[in-house]
Structure 1
């Protein structure tokens, strides 16, 4: 008789954080002898073990069959991509940057970052642009998203979009007003704090023309006209 195959032994357990939004939920990454990764719950003050779909599936990127594991280059524009090593790839990049700046000036090369960078990586990217490349052309995706929202919030309310208080204060609030926010879909783990606030008799007011899951969970939904 053949019994069930034994489960691959767990080699390591890594406490880490979900990389996808500013909530930075805590989670564990597990790796087995088969080198597969999986996400497991982690008792962390922010999310208290909960994760959204993005967090639970974060490890799938590590083993995705289409994940790039080596640089790909074209010898000519019409050629197919071929794998190469980092030495050739970086030499090509450095050569292209050098030729462009020699022909059109240092500011002809720009650097574009992203809101998903850690503070340390963002600092290094800025230093690389201004010190190594000596270009003033540096930007990031927040210019088209988060920065405009932050500027509007500062002008309207005197504060950025971030909360000036810890999440733990939410359950103790008598009344909370959410305007255009759909936390139930953008930051699902934070909804447990609003649910705790409602269970203690607090009022959750959502102002949104849409009937979102957050609006459905509110004690009062003000469905204004856009």
Structure 2
């Protein structure tokens, strides 16, 4: 679980889905017509890798979390993508760097990274967080060089200290630029600090809040599909 943020400054990103399936089309041909063989339809995988935001902590169903909402939009457009929600409450960048390996046993075509908030709230040195996140990215690109990458930026409350906050926030655009990643500056844009869109803890979005999170990610993710 994420460490509690102050309600007004309760934002931290600015951040990861089901098993993949393969659907093979049937080849059809007739003697009276030219060959109209159907090209096999292959479902591609989008891995959302993050913490309790990705996991949809506090919601009745994971389908109500922003990755699940994005899956619904993908299905409505009849796009050949399957969302894999690999969010885990309380995840730090170090734990994520250890956990990512087994998730890569399944082919990943798009990787959405939403991690780091728990590092910031625990005051972990920014150099360590950046190193761990880079490690995760390196593992993904080493195994799947053609995988498209998306990164959500993060922020921490001023109570953590101004200098630390600036250094922490700077991690994410630097990683995005270095690794040629599509960048979502702030996942909680339009939700952070809005009591009506957050659960009682003031940190985790409600189902309505997750719809806004989905929109924030979708506008950057959709062009990749």
Shared fold per TM-score greater than 0.5:
no
TM-score, length-normalised on structure 1? 0.22
More strand, by proportion: 1
Determine which structure has greater relative contact order: mean sequence separation of CA pairs < 8 Å that are 6+ residues apart, divided by chain length. 2
TM-score, length-normalised on structure 2? 0.22
